[in-house]
Amino acid sequence: MVNSALRIWCAVSVLCVASFTMVTSEFAPIGLLSQISADLDQTPSTIGLTVTLYAWIGAASGLLSNWLNRWIPRKALLIGLMLILAVSNGLAALSPEFSTLLGARAVGALAHGVFWAIVAATAAHIVPVQRIGLATSIVLGGITVATVMGVPLVNLVGQYDGWRTAFVCLALMCVASAGAIALVLPSMQIHSLAKGVGFAAVLRRKDLLITYVITGLTAAAHFGAYTFVEPFIGQVPGITSYLIAVLLFAFGAAGFLGNLLSALFIDRYLKTFILVALIAMALALVTLGIYGPLLGIAPVVILLVVWGIAISALFTGLQTWVLRIAGDHMVPATAIHTAVLNSAIGLGVIIGGGALNVAGFKGAMLAASVVIVPAIVLMIASGLRARTEAVFS
């Protein structure tokens, strides 16, 4: 029993490491935005398109997960996805111009969407049902660790030896993650519904549709601002290149606290927890948008911490919400959730880039704060509806 439990949680931890590698690869251009922009002679908003393309291709590829799950064992599929991502990062490091960088990123995006459609469901499958929330928090903690360590470390590597070296390091991390999955994850074959049935059933469920809309608005708001956070921080009076990395670390470190709070509260207070996180994120973004970098280093750090706590809690909470209510539709439900998330990331980058071109970095923050307001309204309405149904049931 002890060995079995140990193996289960080792497997969950390895999935967390793979998630870290996947997210760090996805958002590497954010930490390297200024360097890539200067080297390839493109504007920051143009380089931001490498995140948009990655997200949109990931959204489409995630919908293949239900089909792939019927034909490829889960362990082999995860290993293959990490190796595809390794190839993508290697090609990115060799890219001589912007178009080839986009092509390299597209390769990785094919693996990205499928990975996020199955990784949380994989963790949920191997742990006891009463520990799904904890397992999800651990696996999605890879997102937090990536923002704490991944993006800032990529930034530091880029400053030290160039952005291409940073992508080489990411390729090696992908290979190491694939090896860890091969060693630790148990072999499994998770049931998939018949072709087309799962997606059709999911799209008829109002409870899941609500979670998708809130997820889409949240992701669009976050990435509309976060994609340009590195040059935004660069405008803070008295900032240096290494302090930019420190502030990125502060943002990500706050995510650790958000992830810890998720593990403590989402199994009991899921919807309230999500609502509080949405409000906190909106307040942080609107303050950054109104006052901008002129707030100074200390206030900007505080707001980044609040934002970091909130978005970490939201990613974990929304994924757990989907897993909790999906039932037999877990694989197609998480696949659609991934598609919505990645589509919204791409849309958010475009919204933020448009606001950046019109009103500067403060405009990107304000635009993001506006996008998240409907999510707050919908979350409140969902809570009121649930209470009303409970009273009259």
Helix axes 297-326, 206-226, angle to 10 degrees: 160
Domain spans of the chain? 2-392
- In the DSSP assignment, the letter for residue 196 is T
Q: Which residue has the higher pLDDT, 387 or 142?
A: 142
Q: Which residue would you say has higher pLDDT here, 194 or 345? A: 345
* Alpha-carbon span 102 to 125, nearest angstrom: 35
The alpha carbon of 215 is separated from its chain's Cα centroid by a whole number of angstroms, namely 11
Of 306, 233, 310, 227, the residue nearest 274 (C-alpha): 310
CA distance linking residue 181 with residue 10, whole number of Å: 10
Half-sphere exposure of 132 (CA within 13 A, CB side): 21
Provide the token pair at 331.
Answer: 């694989």
Q: What is the pLDDT of residue 176?
A: 94
- 393 touches 246 (CB < 8 A): no
Give residue-wise pLDDT tens across range 85-123. 999 999 999 999 999 999 999 999 999 888 887 887 788
Domain 2-392 fold is Growth Hormone; Chain: A; (1.20.1250)
Q: For residues 267 and 53, which has the higher predicted lDDT (pLDDT)? A: 53
Band the pLDDT of 310: cuts 50, 70, 90. very high
pLDDT of residue 175: 96
DSSP code for 2: H
| Chain segment 125-137, per-residue pLDDT in tens | 787 766 777 787 7
